[in-house]
Structure 1
């Protein structure tokens, strides 16, 4: 069972932050509940993270902040909904790296990720995990690679969005093995099938997998970043475990419709920062492996442009493929 170490994650956060205050922007915004759309199924990493955050945002904004799940099509259904929503500051999108990547892996999108959304805040970066069912015959990465080489295309791996899919397929390419990708509508169904023994391996965020790891219901075989996660110090990186050159990290960000007024975007970013200063929220998010380095609207815009350039290059080089 993986060791969950929370103290070292928490120690990386600011020790003292300003007391939260109720924030208001132009026109007394917000004057009614604010909705945050999560484009994945309930119970996954994005859903867990956003619900942990929005519980505290209600106190900071002085209005209810409601999470609305709109899953499907690697997050594009919920994204399209927000892109077409009224830009009045009452509908936002919280998404993963698939938000940008989808334009390179899906045959058609009705929106453009950079053009049709207003950046608000980068919420978190986090490592992904290669996880396995406790019923699987292998207990580590070398064992999985050996099993996959002995019986090509007999071992499945669960994925829930474009970025998670890339993580899994990058692993098979670098390890020189053939496995079968099994797409899911969210992380929660992947984890359910891992726990039940219906799926041998899956790719998850630390946020989604933590509770199952701590209870011993699944195994963590490796983390995707070049450094081990402070939350899971006994879990090797994939590079350490025998896949040289493996390096990939996920992220969560909040955006709004393209015409979102800049003062509201700035205030929503401030609300995120203020919420993360609440001890109960900070401890909850750090305890599920979230890196709470928040970026503001301008910084997030630059971050998203860099991510777009990364996937454009990967697409040109044939490292990612469009869905058929």
Structure 2
């Protein structure tokens, strides 16, 4: 067997180096190309038809124009948003997959000790999309037209009235109400807002806690009743509905939120580009009006500000868990 000459070895080595250099040039060129170069997926970790889903699908329409690529919305419901969130946490941080979740995202570690991810560690904040009031609603099959009537009946018949919840944040809203109103009610946990609202409309569930986004169409059609909103001020969308403080529950104040996250390690440039695209989409009067009609407060925050909010929320839910106001989704 002939031994390769020194010349051939040098030429082979040079060829290998040239190939490596070419690969590096291609990689740099790809990295330099503007994002995105392919469709973008927004994952909603709840059932279709709920508030998060409605909001995300509306926003996706505006993002398609801004990003110049298809923006697809996918639903992966289950386990209080954990199933869909885990899918995003394990994805490549290349800007092709984002999570749109509620405040339940930062709450989950305090209600599920065996969580397969850590929200502050395994996700990159992209943007706070919206804050919104939650709503205490009643079925039209019940006699309840005011919070006072509901509280009086709950006092008279402890643990006989159910309230529906669909994620940890909404569960907190309901349990905070029973604590401050001094009543005992039964929490009924659903996999999403849509099936919960279906039961409320059908009269199978007496009361529920919802986002204004999910509840609004059913309020407008008269299929459910609004008893009170959770924020300190009335909702501009439902100005006739009292706050829970006004309705006789002192100290009650809580707002939900929608936020966009990505797998940890997302390049800062992509996060900044998505944040900019969101702001541009919301500058379109038609898009902003459509989202505002859902009850959303469109005070968008960027990656750094959203990161700070998530830290604050984590501390808040740790305290709420110590006070017994958070429950595991299966409880």
Q: TM-score, normalised by structure 1?
A: 0.91
Distance 1:172 1:192 in 2: 23
| 3-state SS of paired residue (1:127) | strand
Q: Which position in structure 2 is the counterpart of 1:185?
A: 191
Which one of the candidate residues 185, 203, 209 is aligned to 1:197?
203
Q: Is the 8 A contact 2:123 2:262 kept in 1?
A: yes
Question: Unpaired runs of 5+ in structure 2?
Answer: 1-30
Q: Is the 8 A contact 2:171 2:327 kept in 1?
A: no
Q: Which position in structure 2 is the counterpart of 1:20?
A: none
How far 1:322 sits from its partner (Å)?
4.5
Distance 2:93 2:33 in 1: 14
Question: Unpaired runs of 5+ in structure 1?
Answer: 1-24
Which one of the candidate residues 76, 85, 90 is aligned to 2:82?
76
Q: Which position in structure 2 is the counterpart of 1:8?
A: none
How far 1:315 sits from its partner (Å)?
2.1
Q: Which position in structure 2 is the counterpart of 1:262?
A: 268
Q: Which position in structure 2 is the counterpart of 1:45?
A: 51
- The structure 1 segments of at least 4 consecutive aligned residues displaced by more than 6 Å after TM superposition are none
Distance 2:174 2:324 in 1: 15
User: Relative contact order (C-alpha < 8 Å, sep 6+): which is higher?
Assistant: 1
Q: Is the 8 A contact 1:26 1:263 kept in 2?
A: no
Distance 1:70 1:233 in 2: 34
Q: Is the 8 A contact 2:228 2:242 kept in 1?
A: yes
Q: Which position in structure 2 is the counterpart of 1:119?
A: 125
Q: Which position in structure 1 is the counterpart of 2:284?
A: 278
Q: Which position in structure 2 is the counterpart of 1:240?
A: 246
Q: TM-score, normalised by structure 2?
A: 0.89
Higher helix share: 2
Distance 1:70 1:293 in 2: 27
Q: Is the 8 A contact 2:125 2:262 kept in 1?
A: yes
How far 1:317 sits from its partner (Å)?
3.4
Q: Is the 8 A contact 1:138 1:147 kept in 2?
A: no
Q: Is the 8 A contact 2:127 2:259 kept in 1?
A: yes
Q: How many residues align?
A: 300
How far 1:321 sits from its partner (Å)?
4.2
Decide which structure has the larger Cα Rg and report it. Answer: 2
Q: Which position in structure 2 is the counterpart of 1:103?
A: 109
Distance 2:249 2:32 in 1: 51
Write the deviation string for residues 129-152 of structure 1: whole angstroms up to 9, x where unpaired: 000111112211000011111111
Distance 2:327 2:76 in 1: 25
Write the deviation string for residues 215-272 of structure 1: whole angstroms up to 9, x where unpaired: 1110000000111111111100111101111111100000000011110000000011
Matched, 1:165 2:171: yes
Q: Is the 8 A contact 2:44 2:99 kept in 1?
A: yes
Aligned residues: CA RMSD: 1.1
